[in-house]
Amino acid sequence: MVLQPGLKRRLTRVFVSAAAVAALGASSALAAPAVVAEPSATTIPGVDEIVHSPNLRSIANVPQQGPFTKDSTGTDIAFTKGHAIIGTYDGFNVFDVRNPYRPKIVSQVLCPGGQNDVSVSGDLLFLSTDYARSDNSCNSAAKPASDKTAWEGIKIFDISNLAAPKYVAAVETDCGSHTNTLVPDKRGKDVYIYVSSYAPAANLPDCQPPHDKLSIVKVPVKDPAKASLVATPVLFPDDGGNPGGTNPDGTRRSATTGCHDLTALPEKDLMAGACMGDGVLLDISDRLKPRVINRVQDNVNFAFWHSATFNNDATKIVFTDELGGGGMATCLEKFGPTRGANGIYEITGRGDNRKLEFRSYYKIPRLQSETENCVAHNGSLIPVPGKDIMVQSWYQGGISVWDFTDSAKPKEIAYWERGPLSNEKLVVGGTWSAYWYNGHIFSSDIVKGLDVLDLNDWRTFPAKLVRQNEFNAQTQYKLHPGFNK
């Protein structure tokens, strides 16, 4: 989710209420929602009513509970050892999802500091803090980012015991850590955390313009307490990236002052950057010196380059445009099929001559109401050999499964969504992230908690054979039946 540049740094408390670390068990609460299948493209379901295609159904829901409440905004997901770890602005939940029909909470860690996006590597978990705090502890208080003593950055937890995570270290980074991307080194001794952050301002001592850089944190696997900031490469040293402006329909186009999301493909030494006003292809063969190979802009339809996903053969990248920052109703007729959508780009050429070539847009075909925040958001590939199929969150637009094997003609093959949280006013909610893991779709809903869905479609049956021990959406590997990472 995006807050407008300059605004997020002035906010000192957003969906944050907890101030201690706890690890405790809780039983899951499984919802059995009413279902109405196959609405028309113009039908708006009732409040909390679920609609879906026949091939995609809900099999479990675990609402926020224990120390987390309905105000504990659910964010991103990482997976390890058959467990889903879901961030919230208050901390994170650890779910046992080995039986996807009966997911169970095994621990909850209170550690405020939105967004608390998560990634995992072995026995380590990395937590992003992008709201200024009084210190790096989990007992910190909100503090203005204009205060030089405020803290933002990466927190590191030992999750060797998933029932009792332990906080072991923290590394401060300029502008905080909105998201983080894990990249292993080539020797297997260390991991690098690429920190994405943005929205500098003249009154922010640790986030000065233009901030066209990344922060890279080195974490020794065997001694994570020695984690440190080791590089701050500038991606756009010559022109500073997209200067921003106004799109033809009057909406604002973001200037590039950092990156929102980075997605690595370590086997190929590649990274895709969604950098506010630019889509970027990077060479990361030297882990501390990422190098821009090619960059693209879309000054007609894209407002905010938010995230990126490679296809399985590393011949395409799907970039998302988070028009309205995730808090706006953009799945309306007046925005059409190309605003707040995905842009599909093919990678052509070889080596330093590789280019990103635009092919088409994809947006969910179902209109939403004026009270539903809806725009392209986080998703992942469904590993089907020879096909490019993705599952993706659209906030209150729900979950879409779509095929972009033909880059010029993407099409939806399944969907699932709840009706609006309110018919009276826009209330922010819906699915933040939807990822494929070990045969099922797992979704983090901002308000409703964890959803688990079963996709029963002949086109995706081969993906049921893929097993992963560990999964981070922003660290991709070539997947195939029998794969285990």
List, for residues 360-376, the tens digit of each pLDDT value: 999 999 999 999 999 99
| pLDDT at site 39 | 42
d(CA 342, CA 335): 14
Return phi, psi of residue 465, to 5°. -85, -10
- Output the pLDDT for position 482: 63
Structure-token match 């991307």, residue found:
181
Residue at 12 is within a domain: no
Secondary structure, 3-state, the chain? CCCCCCCCCCCCCCCCCCCCCCCCCECCCCCCCCEEECCCCCCCCCCCCEEECCCEEEEEEECCCCCCCCCCCEEEEEEECCEEEEEECCEEEEEECCCCCCCEEEEEEECCCCEEEEEEECCEEEEEEEEEECCCCCCCCECCCCCCCCEEEEEEEECCCCCCCEEEEEEECCCCCCEEEEEECCCCCEEEEEEECCCCCCCCCCCCCCCCECEEEEEECCCHHHCEEEECCECCCCCCCCCCEECCCCCEECCCCCCCEEEEEHHHCEEEEEEECEEEEEECCCCCCCEEEEEECCCCCCCCEEEEEECCCCCEEEEEECHHHHCCECCCHHHCCCCCCEEEEEEECCHHHCEEEEEEEECCCCCCCCCCCECCCEEEEECCCCCCEEEEECECCCEEEEECCCCCCCEEEEEEEECCCCCCCCCCCCEEEEEEECCEEEEEECCCEEEEEEECCHHHHHHHHCCCCEEECCECCCCCCCCCC
- Report if residue 10 sits inside a domain: no
Within a domain: residue 171? yes
The answer to whether residue 67 is domain-embedded is yes
Within-domain flag for 18? no
Contact between 283 and 268 under an 8 Å Cβ cutoff? The reply is no
Give the per-residue pLDDT at 7. Answer: 36
Query: In this predicted structure, what is the pLDDT of residue 481?
Result: 64
Cβ-defined contacts of 400-407 (< 8 Å, 24+): 400/364, 401/56, 401/441, 401/455, 401/457, 401/460, 402/362, 403/459, 404/311, 404/316, 404/318, 404/344, 404/362, 407/316, 407/344, 407/346, 407/359, 407/360
pLDDT in tens, the chain (485 residues): 764 333 343 332 222 233 333 333 333 334 333 333 344 455 899 999 999 999 999 999 999 998 888 778 999 999 999 999 999 999 999 999 999 999 999 999 999 998 999 999 999 999 999 999 999 999 999 999 999 999 999 999 999 999 999 999 999 999 999 999 999 998 889 999 999 999 999 999 999 999 999 999 999 999 999 999 999 999 999 888 999 998 887 888 999 999 999 999 999 999 999 999 999 999 999 999 999 999 999 999 999 999 999 999 999 999 999 999 999 999 999 999 999 999 999 999 999 999 999 999 999 999 999 999 999 999 999 999 999 999 999 999 999 999 999 999 999 999 999 999 999 999 999 999 999 999 999 999 999 999 999 999 999 999 999 999 999 999 999 876 666 66
What does the alpha-carbon distance between residue 253 and residue 448 come to, in Å, rounded to a whole number?
Answer: 31
Residue 11 belongs to some domain of the structure? no
Q: How many domains does the chain have?
A: 1
CATH number at 218 reads 2.130.10.10
Closest residue by Cα to residue 432 from 13, 116, 24, 53: 116
Tokens 């401060």 belong to: 172
pTM above 0.85, yes or no: yes
Q: Which are the contacts of 10, defined by CB distance < 8 A and separation ≥ 6?
A: 144, 145
**Which residue range is the domain that position 338 belongs to?**
35-472
Phi and psi at 320, nearest 5°, equal -110, 150
User: For 463-481, what is each residue's pLDDT tens digit?
Assistant: 999 999 999 999 999 876 6
| Per-residue model confidence (pLDDT) at position 2 | 60
Rounded Cα distance between 80 and 472, Å, is 9
- Provide the edge-to-edge strand list for the sheet that holds 431-437: 56-62, 449-455, 440-445, 431-437
What CA–CA distance (Å, rounded) separates 37 from 57?
10
AA letter at 46? G
User: Residue 364 has which token pair?
Assistant: 């969910």
Q: Is residue 213 part of a domain?
A: yes
